[in-house]
Amino acid sequence: MSLAFPAPCPPSHGGEGGEKQTSQDRKDFSHAWAGSSSAGSWLRRRHNSMMGLWNSRVDRHWMPCAAFGLGWSLCFGLVACAGPSSQLASGPQVAAGPMVGHVAPDRARIWVQGDGPGWLGIEYRKPGRQGWLRLLGPGGRPFRGYLPPEQAFCRVLQLSALEPQTDYEFRLLNASGPLTEEAVGGFRTPPPPGQEEALRVAFGSCAGDWGLDPSQAIFQTVAEQEPDVFLWLGDNHYYSLQEREWQQPNSMWASWKRQRSKENLQALLRWTAHYAIWDDHDYGPDNSDKLFRWKWHALAMFQAYWANPAYGSHGTPGVWFRFRRGRVEFFCLDTRFHRDPNWMEAHDEKRLLGPVQSAWLKQALASSSADFKIIVSGNQVLAQYHPFESWHQFPAERRELLSFLQDRKISGVLFLSGDRHASEVIRWPEPFPYPLYEITSSPLAAGLYPPVADSEAPERLPGTSVGKENFGLLDFQWQPEPLIRYRALNAAGEDQHPAVEIRLSELQFDEN
């Protein structure tokens, strides 16, 4: 690990990894494209190019064909479109989003919220191409995504049969044709697991309307950094304390819609892949746990508003999941749904993750071939200097995890966390075969807690405390040696301390 004042970092436009693919999924659909491709600087030009597209897109007598996805539906057919009018009935407009969710080498999930019930479609193409693609279902009809009232008119549309390491742009449609230019977005698929590519990940926690800037303009600053991925580390919105919104499901739904509709958030949603876990304030009341009365409603809302690759495992509900980006894998945890109450005595049976999630995490870490393994937690894992919520209140579970890492010689581990309304870098102070680091990022747009002095936080890396609204930025670099460069940026995009570099060579077991 080293501290270095950062030079300007070039934007990253790639990621790595993804699920296992078959040859069927990796078909070459190049015959369906028209025109030439653009690459490399596509994301830099994306807004200008898309505005040009929309200024000249429509002849009133031409109805573009739609690519419709239904959640996890399979692709039955694929054609380039520029054809006759669709058979769809006139549909809703976009109220929030669209948002890019999970992106794998061969597929992508796109979330959208409409302004009412009805059908929306999606079509996509490589930038610079003239023809759009659509997916066809049985009978040759296009897939359509219905926006149900019981899910606040939210829907996830899935694009399938994509190519790895490829830029795509998409747009939403109803029966009247393409929606406004605000209903467009784009993403780049990652390469297959194990392949190198520069990856930029932004992350943060604690976003609400009670911070210094209720408009949350910090999200515009995040979008300007052009991250490939944004990790939401919990408290991604706040139920109103004055209205006690967590006491009524209808009020909880309203809180979700209020935050997701923030104008300053929309550009980031459309052009970056988003992954989310939760913490107490987007789950329920302050310091809430498995006893929360409306936990099942909270889970339904979380699933309605995000487009993660999975929710829980082995039939056990929750919001944990994993995803791969080439030489990097992320293990995202749920520290609420199965959490024992904080007031319980810290004995060996007190649990944070619950037995199923804990077993899943160990199996996932043991089976991972990624060089960097990023464990993402809503609460701090390694900090011990403060009395607030953290894994320190669950010592048996933390001890078991760290012992497992050591016994199985799992290298390349880094922890990310939120919650604390202050940011810092922690180094585990107790003996371990290699340095264990944790980067905590908070708040994005919420109240600030007075920072604790370095002298009172012995496990903190000196100089890494941030007491302003901020977000984290990780740049994964592979040459001349693999490393992660972490920067903390404020709402104006200014670095808050020297960059922290963590080299893969540090995070290894001694072979002697």
Q: What is residue 33's predicted lDDT score, i.e. its pLDDT? A: 30
Cα 87 off chain centre by: 35
Q: What is the pLDDT of residue 182?
A: 83
Q: State mean pLDDT over 330-341.
A: 99
- d(CA 122, CA 484) in angstroms, rounded, equals 35
**Does residue 427 lie in a domain region?**
yes
Whether residue 273 is predicted with pLDDT greater than 80 in this model: the reply is yes
Q: How many structural domains does the chain have?
A: 2
Per-residue pLDDT tens digits for 115-156: 999 999 999 999 988 889 986 667 877 778 999 999 999 999
R_g (Cα) of the chain, nearest Å: 22
Would 23 be classed as within a structural domain? no
Residue 20 reports pLDDT greater than 70: no
Contacts of 141 (CB under 8 A, 6+ apart): 87
Among 73-82, 306-315, 414-423, 484-493, the minimum mean pLDDT is found in 73-82
How far is it between the farthest Cα atoms of the chain? 73
Q: What is the pLDDT of residues 383-424, one digit of tens each?
A: 999 999 999 999 999 999 999 999 999 999 999 999 999 999
Which range of residues forms the domain containing residue 69? 30-188
Q: Is 47 a residue whose pLDDT tops 50?
A: no
Residue 365, pLDDT above cutoff 70? yes
Please indicate, yes or no, whether residues 153 and 281 belong to a single structural domain of this protein: no
Q: Are 262 and 215 in contact (CB under 8 A)?
A: yes
pLDDT, average across residues 356-381: 99
What mean pLDDT do residues 263-286 have? 98
Q: Is residue 487 part of a domain?
A: no
- pLDDT, tens digit, 9 for 90 and up, residues 55-99: 333 222 222 333 333 333 333 334 444 333 343 457 899 999 999
188-227 pLDDT tens trace: 999 999 999 999 999 999 999 999 999 999 999 999 999 9
Asked if 174 and 212 sit in the same domain, the reply is no
Cβ–Cβ < 8 Å for 9, 483? no
Asked whether residue 207 falls in the same domain as residue 160, the answer is no
Residue 496 lies in a domain: no
Query: Is the pLDDT reported for residue 438 higher than 90?
Result: yes
Same-domain check for residues 212 and 129 = no
Phi, psi of 485 (to 5 degrees): -110, 120
Determine, yes or no, domain membership for 107: yes
Q: Which residues contact 393 (CB under 8 A, 6 or more apart)?
A: 342, 346, 350, 352
Distance from C-alpha of 93 to C-alpha of 120, rounded to nearest angstrom = 8
Whether residue 46 is predicted with pLDDT greater than 60 in this model: the reply is: no
Q: Give the residue from 140, 157, 188 where a domain finishes.
A: 188
247 and 301 share one domain: yes
The band of 14, judged by pLDDT with boundaries at 50, 70 and 90, is: very low
Please give the pLDDT value at position 395.
96
Label residue 238 by pLDDT band (50, 70, 90).
Answer: very high
- Has residue 194 been placed in a domain? no
- Quick one: 428 and 404 in the same domain? yes
Where residue 76 sits, what CATH number does that domain have?
2.60.40.380
